[in-house]
Amino acid sequence: SRKIIIDTDPGQDDAVAILLALASPAEIDVLGIVAVAGNVGLHHNADNARKVVELSGRTDIPVYAGCARPLRRQLVTAEHVHGDTGLNGPDLPDPAIPLQPRHGVDYIVETLMQAEPGTITLCTLGPLTNIAMALVKEPRIAGRIQEIVMMGGAYFEVGNITPAAEFNIYVDPEAADIVLRCGAPITMLPLDVTHMVQSTPARLDAIRALGNRTGAAVHAMLTFSESFDLKKYGWEGAPLHDPTVIAYLLRPELFEGRLCNVEIETASELTLGMTVADYWHVTDRPRNATFLRSADAEGFYALLTERLALLP
Ligand code: BDR
Ligand code: CA
């Protein structure tokens, strides 16, 4: 099975992504989870990651804390979407498993340097601060990463935090720029994909109807974070972002896109954090990322529901 490290700012949709990965041990081996500042502060995100691990029953998964703020900017958070703890909705107990003492960035560097090259995938569900810090601290990791699969960016669907930018890229655009230029294989799941997999009432009811505690918690999480999105977009369901990263590892045929050049705007005030994807190859800039553009929503929810049924 494929070895992954999940770098995350949970976040209800991050939590569902973690659960999907932990429910799929035949295909995915989660080596560790690293929290980063994003949706809320680092301290909450590190707590939430441990709560989710405990919910899944996989208390053997080590959880680390990484960076508490972006490389050079003030942290922008999203309590208005995720609630004051970042994981409002379900009533989960305070975590009992400890946070690992090592810094999350050191964990990423050491794990990649010790493993056979090309055997570890980084799944990023939040701002790219930890991954950029790891690349700065030990540039040789770039050649050892199997793939970076990230939720981030946008093309036609443009922005969700500003008119031009997606949240994960906007929070730390300099980090995203370092990662996009690092030379490792990269796959991006932008808003174009995540807006296609909408959590409609019927899809959430099917998850609650599983009857397990995970299904109930996922229903409560997504009902909470949805209420903001439903008002904002006026759609029947809300986008579901981060679980697409794990679904892509499990069932890549559910997604379509192409390898192209993707660069990050780091200077303009108006379009800061915009992902500029050369989808039609109008330049000869290096093709550094597979930029996905569409997803099979029915196939995605069938997979998610089937896997969540396997957890306690
Ligand atoms: C991303 O921003 C966060 O709020 C979500 O968890 C997701 O990672 C979507 O733009
Ligand atoms: Ca996230």
Nearest to 128 by CA among 173, 82, 162, 93: 173
Q: Is the CB of 166 under 6 A from ligand 1?
A: yes
Q: Is the CB of 168 under 6 A from ligand 1?
A: yes
Q: What is the pLDDT of residues 93-149, one digit of tens each?
A: 999 999 999 999 999 999 999 999 999 999 999 999 999 999 999 999 999 999 999
For residues 103 and 101, give the distance between their C-alpha atoms in angstroms, rounded to a whole number. Answer: 7
Q: Is the CB of 39 under 6 A from ligand 1?
A: yes
**CB burial of residue 233 (10 Å; 0-12, 13-18, 19+):** middle
Q: What is the pLDDT of residues 263-277, one digit of tens each?
A: 999 999 999 999 999
Q: Atom of ligand 1 at shortest distance to CA of 242?
A: 8
Using the mean position of ligand 2's atoms as its centre, give its distance from the Cα of residue 116 in Å: 28
For residues 18 and 127, give the distance between their C-alpha atoms in angstroms, rounded to a whole number. Answer: 16
Q: Atom of ligand 1 at shortest distance to CA of 160?
A: 10
Catalytic residue status for 241 = yes
Using the mean position of ligand 2's atoms as its centre, give its distance from the Cα of residue 6 in Å: 11
Tell the residue nearest (CA) to atom 2 of ligand 1.
167
> Tens place of pLDDT for every residue, the chain, 312 residues?
999 999 999 999 999 999 999 999 999 999 999 999 999 999 999 999 999 999 999 999 999 999 999 999 999 999 999 999 999 999 999 999 999 999 999 999 999 999 999 999 999 999 999 999 999 999 999 999 999 999 999 998 889 999 999 999 999 999 999 999 999 999 999 999 999 999 999 999 999 999 999 999 999 999 998 887 777 787 888 999 999 999 999 999 999 999 999 999 999 999 999 999 999 999 999 999 999 999 999 999 999 999 999 999
Using the mean position of ligand 2's atoms as its centre, give its distance from the Cα of residue 261 in Å: 23
For residues 13 and 237, give the distance between their C-alpha atoms in angstroms, rounded to a whole number. Answer: 14
Element (H, E) at 5: strand 2-8
Using the mean position of ligand 2's atoms as its centre, give its distance from the Cα of residue 269 in Å: 23
Q: How many CA atoms lie within 13 A of 169 on its CB side?
A: 33
Which one from 44, 195, 241, 281 is the annotated catalytic residue? 241
Substitution site in 169, 171, 242, 274 for ligand 1 pocket (most atoms within 8 Å of beta carbon): 242
What phi and psi values does residue 236 have, to the nearest 5 degrees? Answer: -75, -35
